[in-house]
Structure 1
């Protein structure tokens, strides 16, 4: 097993985790005999008006201001999130919220809605207009501390998980997060099960860039196709879990699935997942905690 050296900035060797085929691991058992642990990763983000960011039309992405793309993104926090909340509430689903720390000051009504519903809160950088990269160790420690402290103050709860803006990290990020008391990351989307990192106290929990509304609808997926994709993903993971549990993450962005013409399809997908008798519909926090507490794998 490789050790994870402090300050990997000057190496291209990935010592963060070891290769581990899913067929050669101790079995994972979820509560109640569930086969698949399901969570909704709800991205609640703030975008800067003077920086190129996630765009629906690249032709204007470098303009300042970029009214077309900024307005599209801003729809999520003004309108789309409230449709998404109605659907989550209807099916009794607590999302795992990937929260930019700038959201706490900009959109306190959304944070209050989450507090009223006992959402799980993860740190998701400061803003999704700036990727979490290119920092020296001490600078990154300062930035991460500010992000985590801001979210803690706004929610009354210290986050346990991290996903970087655009799923970005430095080689030092997991170790610095562990220093701050976090216990898992979502950035490494390479598995259907949690696994331990070579950083004491840190694990990876599955997330998805494939089962992700931003990616799917950005490639022309229709609403009915989205619902079928959710069903296909669940059915295969349930079949795979005959001998060991799996994780299914559904990644949502309110400016995408919160659009009016997609709302009923999100609702159908959530209704399907909430109705699976062999699903543990939960949060990424609870998946991480259960895995660490019960996993026979030691490192």
Structure 2
């Protein structure tokens, strides 16, 4: 998104941003740089492909989850005073289709190819349909956290958000047999990265990876602000996610107009990254799926073609996100201030008018 200019007088009264040494992670606009970085995938793979199935159905904003309302009407009260009338609406939707039908169509496809996916499981959704999580575990797939509710956390007080994080971990552990090793919000707050790290630490559970990043085609390490004075910090491994190879774009005006659009875009992304791998610069690719989107019969064929196409290439490592994280952590352990051992991170912690404070403004 572009930065808004010409702000109103009221907007200019907002308190200026102040850096928080616990919650705020520095920004890195350089990354691995021109030479990239070789992740040395197992068996010399040219590309690591991560299929992710987002399971959110039943955890979205709805009156049945205690949310405010889904329709608002204005009406005239006696005396002509306009008032707001709330009316709770419960309509079975494509969310319901995803949990009742679409999810099993996706599961069958990946099980038939023996391709292991990562299930981004929203806790409330898994509570409503535990068989989704149980089936994933039974067939050797990876169950990660997608927060407890599929809602926006931007304005949630930190203590309430922490309680939700803990509840999510406990829910996944109860239904799937163990806590989630990885985390992805999607609608995170400015404090979410730090809060997730805090809760995992407090519960004594290892957090192997975090995916609220769209910044690269490779995993990379970040320093955790709370570990600033820790003698032996552990860092946080980021496994970048995907907004473009993502079937949610079927549901936005500027997104995929047809299954062919989805197929062509994902195939093109795979071809580009596979070619870079063949040239000696292997990458990681994420293909993001939703049961209520690509799980529809008219769209599903595009995913089948993609899976078949990928399966026809040599040197492809189809892996869960936890498998990718475990490989990277073992091969390239955390080193403070580095994306990976030997690759120092470039940070722009403080900025003035969007120009890094540590660099001179050009004349």
- Is TM (by shorter chain) over 0.5? yes
Q: How far is the alpha carbon of 1:175 from its aligned partner?
A: 2.8
State the match for 2:209 in structure 1: 184
User: Can you list the C-alpha shifts for 1:54-94, whole angstroms capped at 9, x where unaligned?
Assistant: xxxxxxxx973152xx5111110011111111211222211
26 and 213 in structure 1: CA distance in 2 versus 1, 3 angstrom threshold: closer
State the distance in 1 between where 2:247 and 2:117 align.
Answer: 15
- Cα gap change, 1:188/1:109 in structure 2, threshold over 3 Å: closer, same or farther? same
1:295 corresponds in structure 2 to 332
Match of 2:185 in 1: 164
Worse-matched range after superposition: 110-119 or 95-104: 110-119
Aligned partner of 1:82 in structure 2 is 104
- Aligned-partner Cα distance in 2 for 1:44–1:296: 31
Aligned to 2:345: none
Question: Are the counterparts in 2 of residues 16 and 198 from structure 1 also a CA contact under 8 Å?
Answer: no
Matched, 1:118 2:155: no
Extract unaligned runs of 5+ from structure 1: 9-13, 54-61
Q: Distance in 1 between matches of 2:21 and 2:132?
A: 39
What's the C-alpha RMSD, in Å, of the aligned pairs? 2.6
Q: What is the CA distance between 1:4 and its match in structure 2? A: 8.8
Q: 1:297 to 1:105 in 2, by over 3 A?
A: closer
Q: TM-score, normalised by structure 1?
A: 0.84
Q: 1:204, CA displacement in angstroms?
A: 0.7
Which structure has more relative contact order (CA 8 Å, sep 6+)? It is 1
**How far is 1:7 from its partner?**
3.8
CA distance in 2 between partners of 1:149 and 1:17 (Å)? 33
Q: Which moved more, 1:101-110 or 1:190-199?
A: 101-110
Query: Would you say how many aligned residue pairs link Structure 1 and Structure 2?
Result: 281
Distance 1:146 1:152 in 2: 10
Identify which of 314, 334, 337 aligns with 1:277: 314
Q: Given the superposition, is the C-alpha separation of residues 288 and 226 from structure 1 closer, same or farther in structure 2, using an over 3 Å criterion?
A: same
**Hey, what does 1:11 align to over in structure 2?**
none
Give the C-alpha shift of residue 27 in structure 1. 2.3
Query: What is the 5 A alignment of 1:28-67?
Result: 28-45=39-56, 46=58, 47-50=60-63, 51=67, 64-65=88-89, 67=91
CA separation in 1, counterparts of 2:160 and 2:295? 36
Deviation at 1:150, TM superposition (A): 1.0
- Are the aligned partners of 1:37 and 1:280 in contact in 2 as well (CA < 8 Å)? yes
Cα 1:207/1:177, change in 2 over 3 Å: farther
Shift of 1:224: 2.2
Aligned residue for 1:166, secondary structure, equals: coil
Partner deviation per Cα, 1:156-214 (whole Å, 9 max, x = no partner): 12211111143556252353255142121111111100000112331110210110001
Matches within 5 A, 1:143-292: 143-166=164-187, 170=191, 172-176=194-198, 178-179=200-201, 180-199=205-224, 200-216=234-250, 218=252, 219-241=255-277, 242-292=279-329
SS in 2 for 1:237: helix
Q: Distance in 2 between matches of 1:237 and 1:281?
A: 14
Kept after mapping to 1: 8 A contact 2:23/2:191: no
Partners of 1:149 and 1:21 in 2: CA distance: 36
Q: Report the CA distance shift for 1:185/1:102 in structure 2 as closer, same or farther (over 3 A).
A: same
SS at match of 1:42: strand
Q: Distance in 1 between matches of 2:45 and 2:68?
A: 43
1:91 pairs with 110, 113, 129, which one? 113
For 1:58, the equivalent position in structure 2 comes to none
More helix by share: 1
